[in-house]
Amino acid sequence: MYEQDTIAAIATPSGEGAVAIVRVSGPDAERIATSVFVRAQGKNGKLASHRLYHGQIQDPRSNKFLDEVLLVVMRKPRSYTGEDIVEVHCHGGTLVVRRVLELMLSQGARHAERGEFTKRAFLNGRLDLAQAEAVLDLIDARTDKGVELALDQVGGGLSKWMRELREELLAILVQIEAAIDFPEEQIELLQRRELIVRIDDLRHKISDILTSYEWGRLFREGAKVCICGRPNVGKSSLLNALLGEDRVIVTDVPGTTRDVIEESINLDGLPVVLWDTAGIGETDDRIEQIGVNLSRRYLEKSDAAVVVLDGSESFAPADLALLESLNGKNALIVINKSDLSQGLDVAELKNRGFLQSMAFVSAKTGSGIDGLKAQLRNLIAGCPEEPPVVLTNIRHKAALARSDKALSDASVTLAKKCPPELVAVELSEAREALEEIIGLINNDDILESIFKNFCVGK
Ligand SMILES: Nc1nc2c(ncn2[C@@H]2O[C@H](COP(=O)(O)OP(=O)(O)O)[C@@H](O)[C@H]2O)c(=O)[nH]1
Ligand SMILES: [Mg+2]
C-alpha cells in the first residue's frame, strides 16, 4: 500500500449550491476530521464506516461553530483513494466551505494538488492508469455517448482488452525466451511460422482498436459537416429542415448568408455540428466574396460535406467546379427542391464521375429529410455498429501504435531467421507499450502530465 500524508480539498465546484463537500484522504483523515466534528445530541463513540452522521463543525481553538454538516468516514481500502477518506457535506456557499477546509488544513492536512485523489487511487491499485484517465474523460464528457464510453473505461472496459493483448504477447515471448535459454533448441521452421501467425493476429486486434479511435472521437466531440453549394440552391432551408425549426434566414436573394452559421443536431446518438455557409460560386460582390472564401475554409476543416444542388435547374458551372474541388472528401450530394418540376440530369452526375451517394429532398416540404439524416450518419460514422472497445485517449493511441510497430518489426525479424534475442527485444518493446497504457509501467513524467489535467478535489 502506498502511504502518504493526508490531503484535503473542496470536491465540489465553486459558487453557490445546496451542498459543498470537503474531502480528506490519508492516514490522518479520520483523526483530523473528527477532531473538529461534534455529533448531534451529544452522541459520541467511534464512527462506523460508510455511514452519514449529522453534527456540527467546530473550531477547537475558538470553540466557534462553523457549519451544520453531514459527515461520512470511508475506511480503507473501501474508498475512492484506497485510503481512509472523510467527506464533510457542508451548506453550499463559498465562504463556509472554505473555512471548513482551512480548519482541516490547520489540523494537519495538506491542500491536495490537481487530481491527487485519483492519483492516489491509481497508486493504491484501486484503478489502473487507463481507468484513472477515463475519470477525466467522464468529467469532460459533453455528449451521452461520451459519458457512456468514459464509464465503460472507468469500469475497466479498455483495460481488460489491454490485459488480454498483453497475456497473448507474454505467451509468445515465453516461446522466444525458451529458444534463447536453450540455444540447442533452434526455432524450428514450423514454430517460426506459427509465431508469425500469432503476432499477426495480435496486430489485427490492435489495428481494430486503433481504428476505433476515430469512431470514438466523432461520438465524443461530434462530427463537423459543411453544407455547401452555390447561392440559392436551398442550403439555409436545408439546415432549417434538418433542425426542424426556422433558425436561418431564407430568401430568394442570392448571397443572403454571408457568415457561417453553426448549429448542432443529434443523428441517432451522433452529435453533428452543421455549418451553413455562404454559397460557393462566382461573385462580384466583395462582401459576398469574403463569405465564399470563408465557406471554402470551413469545407476544408469539416469531416464531411453536404453538397446541395437545385433539382429544379440544370447544372451550373459552379456546381461542377464545387464537386470537382471536393477531391476525395467524404461527401453526400443532396438534390433539393424535389417538390418542383425537375430540370437536373442526374445521370450526367454519374457520367461525369461523381459517384457519391445522393439524397433527393425538399427542404420546403420536409420530404426525404429523415432519409437524408440516416445517410449522413452512415457517411460519417461508417459502420453503424459500435466497435467492441473504443479507444478515446490520444496517449493510449500512441502507445498502441508503438506496440504495433514493434510487433511488425518482430514479425520481420522472425521471418529473416535472425537470432531470437533480437525478436525478444522487439516483443518486449511491444509489451512495454501495452503496459504503459494501464500503468503497469509508469514514470513520474507520465503521471504528472496526466493528473495535472484534473481539477483539485478529484
Ligand atoms: N420550392 C422549393 N423552394 C425551396 C426549397 N428549398 C429552398 N427553396 C427556396 O429557395 C430560395 C433560396 O433558399 P435558401 O435556403 O436561402 O438558399 P441558400 O442561398 O442556398 O441558403 C428560397 O426562396 C427558398 O424558399 C425547396 O425544397 N423547394
Ligand atoms: Mg443561405
Tell me how crowded residue 250 is: count the other CB atoms within 10 A of its CB. 18
Which is higher by pLDDT, 387 or 442?
A: 387
- Cβ-contact 424, 173 below 8 angstroms: yes
Distance 226 CA to ligand 2 centre (A): 12
**Confidence class for position 26, pLDDT limits 50, 70, 90:** very high
The residue to mutate among 226, 230, 237, having the most atoms of ligand 1 within 8 angstroms of its beta carbon, is 237
Distance 364 CA to ligand 1 centre (A): 7
Q: List the end-to-end C-alpha distance of the chain, in Å, as a whole number.
A: 20
Decide whether any atom of ligand 1 lies within 6 Å of the 231 Cβ.
Answer: yes
Decide whether any atom of ligand 1 lies within 6 Å of the 232 Cβ.
Answer: yes
- Cβ-contact 89, 12 below 8 angstroms: no
Q: What values do phi and psi take at 90, rounded to 5?
A: -95, 175
Q: What are the E-state strand segments in 212-283? A: 223-228, 261-267, 270-276
Question: CB-based contacts of 289: which residues, under 8 Å, 6+ apart?
Answer: 283
- Cβ-contact 122, 128 below 8 angstroms: yes
Residue 287 vs residues 167, 255, 284, 368: alpha-carbon distances, Å = 62, 9, 9, 33
What DSSP designation does 31 have? H
Amino acid 443 reads: N
Q: Check pLDDT > 50 for residue 411.
A: yes
Going by alpha carbons, the residue nearest to atom 19 of ligand 1 is 232
Q: What was the pLDDT predicted at 347?
A: 92
Residue 292: its H or E element: helix 286-301
The Cα 271–Cα 142 span in angstroms is: 10
Decide whether any atom of ligand 1 lies within 6 Å of the 340 Cβ.
Answer: yes
Q: What was the pLDDT predicted at 258?
A: 61
What confidence tens digit (pLDDT) does each residue in 318-367 have? Answer: 898 889 888 889 999 999 999 999 999 999 988 988 988 899 999 999 99
Distance 232 CA to ligand 2 centre (A): 7
Q: Check pLDDT > 70 for residue 285.
A: no
Ligand 1 atom closest to Cα of 230? 20
Decide whether any atom of ligand 1 lies within 6 Å of the 252 Cβ.
Answer: yes
Q: Tell me the pLDDT of the chain averaged across its residues.
A: 89
The Cα 298–Cα 234 span in angstroms is: 18
Q: What was the pLDDT predicted at 1?
A: 46
Query: Which percentage of the chain shows pLDDT scores above 70?
Result: 92
Going by alpha carbons, the residue nearest to atom 23 of ligand 1 is 252
Distance 358 CA to ligand 1 centre (A): 18
Distance 277 CA to ligand 1 centre (A): 14
Would you tell me which CATH number, out of the four given (3.30.1360.120, 3.30.420.40, 3.30.950.10, 3.50.50.60), belongs to the domain 7-127?
A: 3.30.1360.120
Ligand 1 atom closest to Cα of 256? 19
Q: What was the pLDDT predicted at 92?
A: 86
Q: Check pLDDT > 70 for residue 286.
A: no
Q: What was the pLDDT predicted at 433?
A: 95
Q: What is the mean pLDDT of residues 189-208?
A: 91
Decide whether any atom of ligand 1 lies within 6 Å of the 368 Cβ.
Answer: no
Q: What was the pLDDT predicted at 19?
A: 93
What confidence tens digit (pLDDT) does each residue in 242-283 have? Answer: 999 877 777 666 656 667 889 999 888 888 999 998 766 655
The residue to mutate among 228, 232, 361, having the most atoms of ligand 1 within 8 angstroms of its beta carbon, is 232
The Cα 276–Cα 439 span in angstroms is: 44
Which CATH fold would you assign to the domain 224-381? Answer: Rossmann fold (3.40.50)
Segment among 270-279, 301-310, 379-388, 406-415 with least mean pLDDT: 379-388
Distance 318 CA to ligand 1 centre (A): 17
Nearest ligand, CA 231 = 1
Which is higher by pLDDT, 342 or 444?
A: 342
Q: What was the pLDDT predicted at 144?
A: 81
Q: Which residue has the cell 454571408?
A: 258
Q: Check pLDDT > 50 for residue 371.
A: yes
Q: What is the mean pLDDT of residues 65-72?
A: 96
Nearest ligand, CA 234 = 1
Ligand 1 atom closest to Cα of 237? 15
Q: What is the mean pLDDT of residues 126-139?
A: 90
Q: Quick one: residue 244, left, alpha or beta (phi over 0 = left, psi -120 to 50 = alpha)?
A: left
Q: What was the pLDDT predicted at 383?
A: 62
Amino acid 229 reads: G
Q: What was the pLDDT predicted at 281?
A: 60
Decide whether any atom of ligand 1 lies within 6 Å of the 439 Cβ.
Answer: no
Cell of 192: 517460426
For the chain, the domains span: 7-127, 134-217+393-439, 224-381
Going by alpha carbons, the residue nearest to atom 12 of ligand 1 is 232
Ligand 1 atom closest to Cα of 308? 20
Q: What was the pLDDT predicted at 252?
A: 67
The Cα 365–Cα 423 span in angstroms is: 65
Going by alpha carbons, the residue nearest to atom 13 of ligand 1 is 234
Q: What is the mean pLDDT of residues 182-202?
A: 83
The Cα 317–Cα 331 span in angstroms is: 19
Distance 328 CA to ligand 2 centre (A): 25
Residue 411 vs residues 71, 202, 328, 401, 403: alpha-carbon distances, Å = 58, 11, 34, 15, 12
Q: Check pLDDT > 70 for residue 184.
A: no
> 104 in helix, strand or coil?
helix
What confidence tens digit (pLDDT) does each residue in 304-322 have? Answer: 999 999 999 998 988 988 8
Going by alpha carbons, the residue nearest to atom 11 of ligand 1 is 252
Distance 237 CA to ligand 2 centre (A): 7
The Cα 326–Cα 319 span in angstroms is: 11
Q: What was the pLDDT predicted at 111?
A: 96
Q: What is the mean pLDDT of residues 120-125?
A: 93
Q: Check pLDDT > 80 for residue 448.
A: yes
Segment among 22-36, 73-87, 316-330 with least mean pLDDT: 316-330
Which is higher by pLDDT, 93 or 151?
A: 151
Question: CB-based contacts of 309: which residues, under 8 Å, 6+ apart?
Answer: 229, 233, 315, 319, 333, 334, 335, 336, 344
Q: Check pLDDT > 90 for residue 291.
A: no
134-217+393-439 sits in which CATH class? mainly alpha
Q: Check pLDDT > 90 for residue 179.
A: no
**Cα atoms found within 13 Å of the Cα of residue 448, Cβ hemisphere only:** 3
Q: What are the E-state strand segments in 277-357? A: 304-310, 331-336
pTM equals 0.71
Tell me how crowded residue 125 is: count the other CB atoms within 10 A of its CB. 12
**Confidence class for position 185, pLDDT limits 50, 70, 90:** low
Q: What was the pLDDT predicted at 412?
A: 96
Cell of 61: 481553538
Distance 368 CA to ligand 1 centre (A): 15
Question: CB-based contacts of 434: which residues, under 8 Å, 6+ apart?
Answer: 162, 165, 166, 169, 399, 400, 403
The Cα 278–Cα 442 span in angstroms is: 50
The residue to mutate among 227, 250, 261, 310, having the most atoms of ligand 1 within 8 angstroms of its beta carbon, is 250
